[in-house]
Amino acid sequence: MSAIELLAAALGVLAVWLTVRQNPWCWPIGLAMVVIYCWIFYEVKLYSDMLLQGVFAFLQLYGWWQWTRGGQQQHGRLVSNLSLPGLLLSLAIGAIGSLTLGYLMANYTDAAQPWLDAGLTAFSLVAQLWMAQKRIENWPLWLVLDVLYVGLFIYKELYLTAGLYGLFCLLALHGWQQWRRAQSLAVTA
């Protein structure tokens, strides 16, 4: 465990906690976290996760815009559900991305866990996009991904990061509950 990993973990907890509360400051704090994790993952040769952090940096900016300026009235998005075709298309894109990135990492790099890392990376992009659009389905997907990430990070001896992702599991459960409550209140209002 290093000081930089501790800082990234602390920023991660704060960013997800703010996300659960639907506070748009989750996005700039998340941006700082992903920049730091990009370096950490480079150091431990989790290249897919390193690339993921780069894409997350862009998605942090996209999410910040969506939450503050998106939606029909340009006042930010409300919590909503994906349509079944949207859900299936997103998951298919995640699967294709997993296979493509896994193949590239397995055959052209010295990645430590090319297939698992690639799968987690591709589906994390799906979950992050859903989160930026305030789709409630982001939370159960994050829960599954975070459980798998805990195992990967324990394997790579990134214990603080594994603990962080364990906390993310709890926050995903809480976020799912909070967003469902917000969604039901919006319907009755």
104-130 per-position pLDDT tens digit? 999 998 888 999 999 998 999 999 999
Query: How far is CA 6 from each of CA 29, 54, 90, 123, 128, rounded to the nearest angstrom?
Result: 15, 20, 33, 25, 22
Q: Where are the alpha helices (DSSP H) in the chain?
A: 3-20, 26-43, 47-69, 84-108, 114-132, 138-155, 159-188
Position 49 confidence tier, pLDDT thresholds 50, 70, 90: confident
Please check the confidence at residue 17 and state whether its pLDDT lies above 90.
Answer: yes
Note whether 176 and 143 are within 8 A (CB). Answer: yes
* Torsion angle, alpha carbons of 164, 170, 171, 172, to 10: 110
Q: What is the C-alpha to C-alpha distance for residues 16 and 60, in angstroms, rounded to an integer?
A: 12
Please check the confidence at residue 145 and state whether its pLDDT lies above 70.
Answer: yes
Find the mean pLDDT for residues 97-103.
95
Position 72 confidence tier, pLDDT thresholds 50, 70, 90: low
Position 73 confidence tier, pLDDT thresholds 50, 70, 90: low
Note whether 87 and 95 are within 8 A (CB). Answer: no
Q: What is the C-alpha to C-alpha distance for residues 120 and 145, in angstroms, rounded to an integer?
A: 6
**How much is the pLDDT for 48?**
76
**How much is the pLDDT for 71?**
62
Q: Report how far Cα 35 is from the mean position of its chain's Cα atoms.
A: 14
Note whether 82 and 90 are within 8 A (CB). Answer: yes
Note whether 163 and 107 are within 8 A (CB). Answer: no
**How much is the pLDDT for 158?**
84
Length of the chain in terms of residues written: 189
Tokens matching residue 48:
């897919």
Please check the confidence at residue 1 and state whether its pLDDT lies above 80.
Answer: no
Please check the confidence at residue 168 and state whether its pLDDT lies above 80.
Answer: yes
Domain that holds residue 59: 3-188
Q: What is the C-alpha to C-alpha distance for residues 78 and 62, in angstroms, rounded to an integer?
A: 15
Query: How far is CA 161 from each of CA 3, 63, 144, rounded to the nearest angstrom?
Result: 12, 23, 16
**How much is the pLDDT for 15?**
94
Please check the confidence at residue 182 and state whether its pLDDT lies above 80.
Answer: yes
Number of domains comprising the chain: 1
Q: What is the mean pLDDT of the chain?
A: 91
Position 74 confidence tier, pLDDT thresholds 50, 70, 90: low
